[in-house]
Amino acid sequence: MPGRATSQDFAAWLELNPDTRAHLWLTCSLLVDELRAELDATDADCQPWEVELGPFGFADCLPSATRGSYDAYTALAFTHALDAVIWKLGNQPGTQPSCTMEAFAMRAVLERAEILVEELQEVLDSGEPPWWSTGHDPGAVDMESIPDLVFQDLDHEMLFMPHLDGIENDEQLAAVLGLGEELTVRGWLTPYDNATDRGHPLTWSTDPSPPSSPTG
């Protein structure tokens, strides 16, 4: 089992400078804590995507147009997906999301990272001492190249565009765009056809098959 990634070796692409890697590490730590706080604040009358405590909470992580289809497992599925993409960033940088829910989680990391750059810069501009222990300079963080490194496409972004509400159920348009069921709520956890791993653990019905021996 690989050791836990640190802020120095997190997201270790050659394309990313040390400040950007440290910033992503800090972002993931904060995002997990912020979403956990929203989960703790939920009850029978208030779902996680209705709490809106954090700068980028469940209300932002999941498409608002499809909330009518969410159930008690939706937030759980997202947190599992977030765990998966954080693990990939720390241990297998270059491994892309395996399903739409993981794409949502990766999107959340990047969006929260952009917000965090502004938050940290405001601290520095105010003359207050940095509260973050990574020691990185938010002014040196470069997020521009990351989407190309972590996404095979940006189809999931269509679910966050109000003018495209309902696109996941438009079979004719989906056929034109070459989409399957990956944008439908029921397909968010289904591994992509070209996924390099088995996708989201909530879709696993059996243990992984052992690898074949060299002799078959």
Kindly tell me if the per-residue pLDDT of 134 is higher than 60.
yes
Cα–Cα distance, 22 to 12 (Å, whole number): 10
Segment 2-47, tens digit of pLDDT: 455 676 678 888 889 999 999 999 999 999 999 999 999 998 889 9
Helix 100-126 to helix 74-91 angle (10° resolution) is: 70
Tens-place pLDDT, residues 108-125: 999 999 999 999 999 999
Least confidently predicted of 6-10, 71-75, 93-97: 6-10
Predicted structure pTM score: 0.85
CA distance 53 to 38: 6
The lowest-confidence range among 20-34, 60-74, 145-159, 175-189 is 175-189
pLDDT, residue 37, reads: 94
Q: How far apart are CA 86 and CA 80, in angstroms?
A: 10
Q: Are 116 and 134 contacting, i.e. CB atoms less than 8 angstroms apart? A: no
User: Tokens for 96?
Assistant: 């892309």
pLDDT of residue 58: 96
